[in-house]
Amino acid sequence: MSGDRPATARAAIGSTPAGAILEVAGLTRRFGGVIAVNDVSFGIVAGTVTGLIGPNGSGKSTLFRLISAEMPAHSGEVRLRGQPITRRSASEVNRLGLGRTFQLSRLYPAMTATENLVAVTRGEAKHALERAAASLDFVGLTAVADEFAANLSYGQQKLLEFARVLVNDPDVILLDEPFAGVNPVMEERMVAHIHALRDRGKTFLITDHEIRLIMALCSRLIVLDHGELLADGDPATVRADARVIDAYFGT
């Protein structure tokens, strides 16, 4: 579809590659007079890591809510493996293979790390403990499996949230600010986990203000500004785009 367009960030805005696992088409969401997400379209292919960046209030978290069907869009459509999911419930969308983390923690503080995972694990209860253990092992939290979530360090809590998404083995994973407040050691671990999962074919859409990490992680960057797609392309080209510098990198 976009194959013979010039490879500049601007020309590729909203491109939907053939065979995209996740497609967003004309998504719009208003809150009173504010258009939080304005006619946004793009598609991402399986086994890739895409960064979604933009100033505070540019609509990133709202776009995540629309994609994961936590909130209805006023117009537009989301498709997962070509199947429209816009009118499904958030739990149905999750069951279809789309998982996400939240900007603010949704852990249960008075439950242990294991219990936090078991509580959201689908399928047969007898396998839930095994799957929780495998997820904790993957993110390196086995040693704190029986600790209450409230007693974990902030970075460990972020890893636990990540493990909680993985427990149901989603194909598409949305991460909303996974690095916010995380120390460099935990950052490196998160980056390694994301790359390992990508190499197994998982697809990521990640928003974060840690541009250094986003640049290191992503093969494509999408930029939102005032709810609109401002740029879309390879990270180096997008980072150098004058409009992106004006809107986001400033000064």
Minimum gap (Å) between residue 226 Cβ and ligand ATP = 9
Q: Which is nearer to ligand ATP, 61 or 121 (CB)?
A: 61
160 φ, ψ (degrees, to nearest 5):
-65, -40
Residue 59 Rama label (left phi>0; alpha psi -120 to 50; beta): left
- 34 makes contact, choosing from Mg ion, ligand ATP, none, with CB < 5 to 8 Å by partner type, with ligand ATP
Q: Which of residues 79-108 bind ligand ATP (CB under 6 A)?
A: 103
| CA 116 distance to own-chain centroid | 20
Site string for ligand ATP, 32-71 (x = CB under 6 A): --x-x-----------------x-xxxxxxx---------
Minimum gap (Å) between residue 59 Cβ and ligand ATP = 4
101 interacts with Mg ion by CB under 5 A: no
Q: Which is nearer to Mg ion, 103 or 168 (CB)?
A: 103
Distance CA 22, CA 205 (A): 10
If binding means CB under 5 A, how many residues of this protein chain bind Mg ion? 3
Annotate 13-71 with DSSP letters as a single string: TT---TT-SEEEEEEEEEETTEEEEEEEEEEE-TT-EEEEE-STTSSHHHHHHHHTTSS
Q: Which is nearer to Mg ion, 103 or 219 (CB)?
A: 103
Minimum gap (Å) between residue 64 Cβ and Mg ion = 8
Q: Which of 61, 86, 116, 121 binds Mg ion (CB under 5 A)?
A: 61
Distance CA 250, CA 102 (A): 26
**Residue 181: strand, helix, or coil:** coil
170 close to 134: Cβ distance less than 8 angstroms: no
> CB within 8 A of 74, min separation 6: which ones?
28, 29, 30
If binding means CB under 6 A, how many residues of this protein chain bind ligand ATP? 12
Q: Applying CB under 6 A, which residues contact ligand ATP?
A: 31, 34, 36, 54, 56-62, 103
Q: Applying CB under 5 A, which residues contact Mg ion?
A: 60-61, 103
